[in-house]
Structures are given as structure tokens and as C-alpha cells.
Structure 1
């Protein structure tokens, strides 16, 4: 091959490489469609969301269902038949802010129960080495451990609900004051809600984001806040949502309502703090009475007792 042919091949290769690099650079500079649309639909609910929706989840229960699906679903249905209370579980899942269906929660209960069963079975095997005749007792312990694991997941859900409600109460005065300031500055309730949701973070902000998404899909403001009041398990938050709904319907000054509700929440927090301090004061007396006081009395009377025993003939 002549030098001219080699030059043509190398030139074509270089031109193809430059063309590929230029095409890639142009594609990288172009904003994807998802990035252009996402800011406008970020706070809208996804299709299929809801308590009864069977959607994919990133929870360990969903991963376990993907591997041992039929067996875990059958066990979850058996737990549901035995325990019942699907409505209560669904409401507690909503109050806890968990994107988990009732079926996934039952699967998690089964997994917790299997964990307890495995621990009890390991203990039973170790015991069988030393006491071969304790097989029936080990089986009973395994069954009790499975039941305890199932009930422990339900108790943990109630703890999650209480922890989230406690965080909401802590965030409520600040969020209410921010809404009141935005409304007093001349913004509409929806614009003030949008500003507060964008500038704040937390569980209460997530609840308000759900309300904002419902309003932007065409639901009236009063209906969206009424749904929030029905969904919330806190009387203060329910009263807050109902107050905004009534103010939006009847034209009541919204800023005054929000300031008053924030003051009520702060006062309720002070009363709770005083009550907790009173209970802690009684608890603090226990080590003083049963530990410090006996040691003090011992230090005061022990030298005298020793002196008497030494001087006694």
C-alpha cells in the first residue's frame, strides 16, 4: 500500500473519531426530556400510589418477596387472617409516613418472626447437645419466638408513629410562623404553602407537600386540608388544617389564625415540659434515697460503731 493510501486511511480514521467526539459533546450538552419535565411534575402523586397499591418498593421485604415470593405471601396472608386489623395498620402506616402497603408490612412481620424463630432454633440446637430430651420445649420456644417477632414489628410500627408525631409537633410552630409571615407579606395560601415546602424540610413539610400536590391537581384548598386533618393523628395538626380550610372558605384572616395556633402549640409544649420535669424530679429521688442517703448514714455511724467495738472490754 502506498503512502497516499495510508494517509487516506489515517485521515478517514481521524475524521471519524472527531465526528464521534463532536456528536457525543452535542448529545451531552442537550438537556434530557426528563430533566426538563421533572421540575413541573416533581410534587405530583405517582399513578397507583395509595394504601392498597401493590407497587415495587426498596424495602427488604420487597427484596425477600422477590426471592421467596409465594411462601412469604402465603405466610403474610395467614398472619393477616390471624391478627386482622388491616384498616388500623394502613392508617398507622400513613401516620408513620411509610410508603409500604399492608401486604409488605405483613411480610415484614413474617420476616421478623422468622428471625426470632431462627434465634430460638439455634438456642434449641445448642440445648439439644446437652439435654437431648428437651425437643418439645424447644419447639414451644420457637413458636413463642415467632409470635414475639411478629408482634414486635407491630409494636415498632407504633413506635415509629409516635416518633414521627413528636417530630411534627416540634416542627409545627416554626412552619406555622413561616406560613403566617408569607401570608402577611401578601402571598396567597397556595403560594405561601409552596414557599414553605420549598424552603423547609421535615415530616410536617412532607405532609404539606402532599397537600400542595393535591391542590395543584385541581382539588380545592379546603378539601386538601380536610384530607390532611383526617389523615393526621394529632389533634393540634388536625385543628391547624381545619383552621386553614375554614379561613380559606370564609375569608378569615389567615395570618392571625396561624399565629394563634403556633402560640397554642408552644404553650402545649411548655406544659408538657413542666409535666415531664415533675415526673423526672420524682425519679431523681430514687437514687438519692436508696443509694446516696444509706452511704451517708453509713459514713456517719460506721466510725462510732468501730470505736465502740474497740473500747468494749
Structure 2
């Protein structure tokens, strides 16, 4: 009996040890992704972690509401384009679900306010319901405007990063490196939105796509004319063998000059606003300090 119990316990411990080793063994993605430097660190298959809890619980209802919003608003092509320009790894349907969630949040706030008003005035229920419906629509449109703002913010960051990235790439090419090797060097030593786009280009090149075709794809999915010109210039230089360093230096200089002109134009448009603190804050204080001692002196010397 003792030997039998010992054998059973040993088999049990062996099974537990095997199971623990199987659980601790890294998966295929954990073994392969560290060697793919082109991919971001937060790469995950769609449908895994990162899905909101509300989507997991109320998934069918939210999907139905998202389909209804898609039928009412339309513009799936525009949304898909803006999602790509904003660098968001989402589908149009996932974005519609987010719009529904934003609308429900605004609806909940308006409903809470409507309940409080209804308790004070029971005859105001119809207007409260109308406010709730309007709040839902405002939330849906607010998410769309937020996407547009994300696109503009990302494009401004790319414009700010472009001269430095272009100069680094030009220096690497002028040092004798090929465009792919120079691109790899720049991507590994820089960070930002434009660097992420170049990392995608490098990933396409390493998967067998020609350098010119990869840069043409970058120009196609980017909404910035200067990035499109940069990608087109690199593609033409690679195809025809023209000096790439000179092209990159010229483009970086053009972007810096355009940035200076834009700064001067913004300053000219903000000239009136810049005068507001001077007129309403600095000038009254200056007048007060200049005339107040004289007023006090007149009061003291007056009979």
C-alpha cells in the first residue's frame, strides 16, 4: 500500500511538473517577435488583450449600434484613411464601436441631468429625452472630431521630425551605406511618428518588397505632401541612381524654410492676441504706478 501511494504521488508530482513547464514555455510569438526589430513592441493579434470590457460584455448590442451608425453616417473610406494617417491600428467597425461608447457616455451624463430636472419639474420629461438624444449624437460626432485632431497632431509631429530624420538619412547615405542599411540605422537611433513610418517601410523591404515600391506605399498612405515628396524622391533616386544625399539635404532645407515661413505667418495672425496682455495687464499696472503716488501727494497737500 505504501509503495502504491508513493507511486501515485510521484506520478502526480511528475504531471504537475510537466504542466508547469508547459505553462512557462514561451509561445511562438514571444520566441519570434524579439528578433523582428521592425515591429513595434506592442504588436498583438487583433481580438486579444486591449478590447474594452464593455465591448466584451455588450458586444452584440454595440456591434448592431455601430452598424446603424455606419449606415447613417457612411464615409467608411474617409474613416479608414484617417485611421491610417493617425497611426491607429483599428478597423472602421472598431472605430464605430468607439463612437457608440462616446455617445453612450454623453447620453448617460444628459440622462442623469434630465432625471434631476424631472424630479424638480415632472412636466419636463420630453425635453429631457430630446436632450439625451442630442447628447448621444454629440458624443458620436465628438469621437469623429477627435480622430481628425489626432491626425493633425500626428502630422505636426511628423513635420517637426522630418528635417532631422532626413539629415540623418543623408549623412548615412553620404557615408557609403545603401538606402536600406541607412534606413535601418536611422530607425534604430531615432524615435517618433516619422520613424515609425520608416520602420514600416524597412519591414516591407526586409520581406522582399523593392525599396522604391516600399517608399511609394509610404507616399500613398501619408497625407503630408512633404513626406510624399520625400518618399517619391527616394524612390526615384533608388531607381535611377541619382545622388540621394543631395536630394535629402535639399528637402530638409525646404522643410526648415517652410517651418520658418509658417512661424512668421502664425505670429502675424496672433499679433492682436499678443497685444491683449500688454493692453489689459501691463499698461494698467504701469499707469497705476505712475499716477497713484501723485494722487496721494495731491491729497496730502490739499488744504
TM-score normalised by L of structure 2: 0.83
Instruction: Give the Cα separation in 2 of the matches to 1:42 and 1:305.
Output: 74
Q: Looking at CA atoms only, which structure, 1 or 2, has the larger radius of gyration?
A: 1
User: Residues 204-283 of structure 1: matches in 2 within 5 Å?
Assistant: 204-283=194-273
Establish whether residue 133 from structure 1 lines up as the match of residue 123 from structure 2: yes
Q: Indicate the RMSD between aligned Cα atoms, in angstroms.
A: 3.8
Instruction: Give the Cα separation in 2 of the matches to 1:165 and 1:83.
Output: 25
Q: What's 1:55 paired with?
A: 46
Query: Which stretch of the first structure deviates more once superposed, 130-139 or 275-284?
Result: 275-284
Q: What displacement does 1:277 show?
A: 2.5
* 1:190-230 Cα distance to aligned partner (Å, 9 max, x none): 11111111221111111011111111112111111111001
CA contact (8 A) 1:176 1:258 kept: yes
Aligned residue among 107, 119, 139 for 2:109: 119
Q: What displacement does 1:292 show?
A: 4.7
Q: What's 1:43 paired with?
A: 38
Q: What's 2:9 paired with?
A: none
Q: What's 1:152 paired with?
A: 142
CA contact (8 A) 1:44 1:217 kept: no
TM-score normalised by L of structure 1: 0.80
Q: What displacement does 1:271 show?
A: 1.5
CA contact (8 A) 1:164 1:203 kept: yes
Q: Name structure 1 gaps, 5 residues minimum.
A: 1-18
Q: What is the aligned length?
A: 298
3-state SS in 2 of match to 1:100: coil
CA contact (8 A) 1:176 1:262 kept: yes
* 1:112-148 Cα distance to aligned partner (Å, 9 max, x none): 0000000000001111111111101101110111011
3-state SS in 2 of match to 1:90: helix
Query: Which stretch of the first structure deviates more once superposed, 134-143 or 211-220?
Result: 211-220
* 1:39-67 Cα distance to aligned partner (Å, 9 max, x none): 5445369xxx9xxxx9315445x432221
> Taking structure 1 as reference, are residues 296 and 196 closer, same or farther at Cα in structure 2, changes over 3 Å only?
closer
Q: What's 2:191 paired with?
A: 201
> Taking structure 1 as reference, are residues 59 and 88 closer, same or farther at Cα in structure 2, changes over 3 Å only?
farther
Instruction: Give the Cα separation in 1 of the matches to 2:92 and 2:239.
Output: 36
Query: Which stretch of the first structure deviates more once superposed, 134-143 or 191-200?
Result: 191-200
Q: What's 2:179 paired with?
A: 189
Q: What displacement does 1:281 show?
A: 3.0
Instruction: Give the Cα separation in 2 of the matches to 1:247 and 1:299.
Output: 66
Q: Name structure 2 gaps, 5 residues minimum.
A: 1-13
CA contact (8 A) 2:39 2:199 kept: no
> Taking structure 1 as reference, are residues 132 and 286 closer, same or farther at Cα in structure 2, changes over 3 Å only?
same
> Taking structure 1 as reference, are residues 287 and 33 closer, same or farther at Cα in structure 2, changes over 3 Å only?
closer
CA contact (8 A) 1:44 1:214 kept: no
